[in-house]
Structure formats: C-alpha cells, structure tokens
Amino acid sequence: PDNEAPPMPWFGMDIGGTLTKLVYFEPRETNRRELDKETEVLKNIRRYLTRNSAYGKTGRRDVHLQMDNVTIRGRRGTLHFIRFPTSEVGAFLQLARSKGMADLVNTIYATGGGAYKFEEDFIKEVNMRLSKMDELDALIAGVLFVDCMNAQECYYWAPPDEQAVHTHVTDSPPYSEAALSLYVRKPFDFSSPYPFLLVNIGSGVSVLVVNAPDDYYRVSGTSLGGGTFLGLCCLLTGCSSFEEAIALAASGDNTTVDKLVRDIYGGDYARFGLPGDLVASSFGQMCSAERRAKVSRADLARATVVTITNNIGSIARLCASNEGIERVVFCGNFLRVNPLSMKLLSYAMSYWSRGALKALFLEHEGYFGAVGCLLHLDS
Ligand code: ADP
C-alpha cells in the first residue's frame, strides 16, 4: 500500500446537470492493525453505505453494478455506485453532516458542473473542500479503468443475422418490439480500443475522439440529449420520472406519431436506399388534428425516444466517418434501463455505414466520470 495515499474514506463524485454520481471505495481489511485504526465514524459511514441500497428519499445504490476485487493505489476493495438527483444536493449535504462526514473528510474529489456550482455549499454545510477535476478527463480515465477491471464491461447488441451486412432496403429499422426483441446482448473484447469515438449521453451530449489514454479531443456535441428527452416527454405525456417515461415508451408505437418514408412514397424510396419504415419526419403526423386525437401517451413517449436517439445516432455516425473511426462507444445515463435506444443506435450505426461502424455500450453507463475522479485522489 502507498503511504502517501489520502486517508479513507475514498470517494469520487460527479455532480451532473441532472444526476449526481457518487462512487465509494470500500477497502478490504487486510490486517488487525488497520482495523484497530479505523475510527468509529469511518466504520459507521462504511456500514451505512454498504448495508443500505436507498439513502433518504431519492438516493439509490446500484447494487448490480458493484465491483469487487478492484485495486486502487495498491489497496484492494469494492467499488459501490450511488446516485441521486442533483436537485437534492442540499439533502445530501445534510445527510453527510448527520453521519459525521464533516469531521472526517476535508477534501472530496469532484467533477461535473456542480463541482463549481456547489463549491460554496460544500464548504458552508460540511466544511468539505472540493478538489475539482475536468469532467472529460475524468470520463475517459473512468472508462479505461473500469473496462480494464471488468471483462464483461463492454458489449454490443447483435442483430438477428449478425453476419449479414445491413445495407438492403428491406432491412427495416427495428421500431417494433417484435423486431427489437431479436437483438441479443453479447460481450465485446475492448482490449485494444484505439481509436474510438466516445458518445456521452447525459443531460446533453458530448462526442469525443479518443486516440490514446492521454490523447483525446471533443469533436462535437448536441444540446438535444437525455434532458431533452425527459423534458419533452414530461410536457407531452404528463409523466414525472425517467423510469415512467421509459416504461411508457416501451409500450408505445412511434409510427402513429412520425411520418415514415412509406407515408410519403407509399413504399421504399429504393433509389437512395431508404426503407419505407424509416422515419422521414419525426412527429410529422402531429400536424393533423385527426391524428393527434388518436395518438396515445405511450406513442408520444416512444416517438420522443426515437427522435432524440436517431438524432444522436446521426451525429455520431457523421463524426465517426469524418474521423475514420469504426468503434463508437455510447455511455451516459440516458441509456439506463433503455434497451430501446441502444438497439436503435446499433441499427443506425450499422445500416447507415453499410456495416462499417459498430455501436458499443458499457455496463457502468453513467458512472465513469465519478470513477475517474476517484482514481485521481492523489493529485
Ligand atoms: P448528467 O451528468 O448531465 O446529469 P447523466 O449521464 O447522469 O448526465 O444522464 C442524465 C440523463 O439520464 C437524464 O437526462 C435522463 O435522460 C437519464 N436518466 C436516467 N435515469 C434517471 C433518473 N433516475 N432521473 C433522471 N434522469 C435519469
């Protein structure tokens, strides 16, 4: 173990536009002496975090993402993944204070816009200084570390006939649940990843070209991201949470909302390789009062997912072909509990590149920034 390592507890925090992600490293006790040295407060914090999976009203631990046997700075232990809405930072600080964190931790390693926005509150409420790290540096460090520690981290969605190159006009986009259900999740060996495109879909979207661990740049982005999806969905359907929006979308049909190529052509636009089932105009049917009267909340939710996802897919594809990159890795919490978007992105990457591009996904979705922060607790 490294003698210069900062004292426990070790945290990494990413205070994003919508969600705050907190990663906690629980050391595996190696000897009696260390156990004796552990203070009562530290013990209580560890117990509280590792024995519960809900904290206050809105804090959640993603138990299924827990990583055992991780080594950081020569210490072996377990990584725990916790999230809560950024709007609840105040409640988090109160909780941290009540658990005695203020007496124990004087610096917390943080990234995301909230590390700037809430800096004063952390000092005032719990006497904690935020040591800030750039969010894109943290994101990439986190992706590379987690992928290295977890052989199952990277995966893709294999289409029904994986060998076939999907360039035929008849290869319709998988808008129906029946078509989507044929996609199977398979592990992807990401051990020689470079170069790759990293598309982080949070509240907004950032697109990065990654050539090596320390060689990357941001090529593009869009403000039409996960926040847009949730915002529009709340407006259109009256839903009030991301989970509800995704569940609604899963039972809807976007083809009653969108205008498809076949609604305009009566079939495929074969000359330019556009299948009849493709969306020609997102929400294009909604100018008709008659159509609006027939549409359901679920249809509107699904059309919103499809619109946002296809737009991101299209930007990602343009960036990848511009940069001559084949592997496109998607992350961010917009993909949480959202196989619909992942499968649509998989189809879009493959179809529009004539099979040249591969869409890849990561198990720990939105936590990489927080992990990257934790890794830099020595700086
Ligand atoms: P940020 O750092 O901008 O907060 P995230 O990667 O955490 O970005 O992703 C935020 C997005 O994830 C939201 O805009 C929403 O689309 C989606 N999301 C997933 N789970 C939730 C949740 N429980 N509450 C709110 N948004 C969620």
pLDDT, tens digit, 9 for 90 and up, residues 152-196: 999 999 988 776 655 554 577 888 888 889 999 999 999 999 999
The per-residue pLDDT for range 88-120, each reduced to its tens digit, is 999 999 999 998 887 787 889 999 999 999 999
The answer to whether 136 and 217 are in contact (CB under 8 A) is no
Question: For residue 272, what pLDDT band results from cuts at 50, 70 and 90?
Answer: confident
Taking the C-alpha atoms of residue 336 and residue 363, their distance in angstroms, rounded to an integer, is 9
Q: Average pLDDT, stretch 138-160?
A: 95
Exposed e or buried b per residue across 174-210, where buried means at least 16 C-beta atoms within 10 angstroms of its C-beta: bbeeebbeebeeeebebeebebbbbbbbbbbbbbbbb
Give the model's pLDDT for residue 162. 75
- Distance in Å, CA 80 to ligand 1 centroid: 18
Q: Which residues contact 281 (CB under 8 A, 6 or more apart)?
A: 258, 259
Ligand 1 atom with minimal separation from the 229 CA: 16
Taking the C-alpha atoms of residue 260 and residue 303, their distance in angstroms, rounded to an integer, is 12
At 260, list the tokens. Answer: 């498809």
- Distance in Å, CA 243 to ligand 1 centroid: 10
Give the model's pLDDT for residue 161. 75
Whether 142 lines ligand 1, by a CB cut-off of 6 Å, is no
Give the model's pLDDT for residue 377. 61
Q: Average pLDDT, stretch 211-220?
A: 97
Give the model's pLDDT for residue 366. 98
DSSP structure class, residue 8: S
Whether 17 lines ligand 1, by a CB cut-off of 6 Å, is yes
Q: Which residues contact 235 (CB under 8 A, 6 or more apart)?
A: none
Give the model's pLDDT for residue 42. 86
Q: Which residues contact 355 (CB under 8 A, 6 or more apart)?
A: 165, 166, 167
Report the chain's terminal Cα–Cα distance, integer Å.
17
Taking the C-alpha atoms of residue 8 and residue 362, their distance in angstroms, rounded to an integer, is 28
Given a cut of 50, is residue 32 above it in pLDDT? yes
* % of the chain with per-residue pLDDT over 70: 93
Catalytic annotation, residues? 135
- Distance in Å, CA 1 to ligand 1 centroid: 36
Give the model's pLDDT for residue 164. 61
- Distance in Å, CA 230 to ligand 1 centroid: 9
**By alpha-carbon position, which residue is closest to atom 25 of ligand 1?**
242
Whether ipTM tops 0.95, in short, is yes
Whether 336 lines ligand 1, by a CB cut-off of 6 Å, is yes
Given a cut of 80, is residue 352 above it in pLDDT? yes
What angle do helix axes 226-237 and 242-250 make, rounded to 10 degrees? 70
Q: What are phi and psi of 316, to 5 degrees?
A: -60, -40
Given a cut of 80, is residue 379 above it in pLDDT? no
Answer yes or no: pTM beyond 0.90: yes
At 338, list the tokens. Answer: 């959202």
The answer to whether 305 and 340 are in contact (CB under 8 A) is yes
Whether 309 lines ligand 1, by a CB cut-off of 6 Å, is no
Taking the C-alpha atoms of residue 270 and residue 171, their distance in angstroms, rounded to an integer, is 12
Question: For residue 227, what pLDDT band results from cuts at 50, 70 and 90?
Answer: very high
Taking residue 161's Cβ as centre, other Cβ atoms within 10 Å add up to 10
Whether 284 lines ligand 1, by a CB cut-off of 6 Å, is no
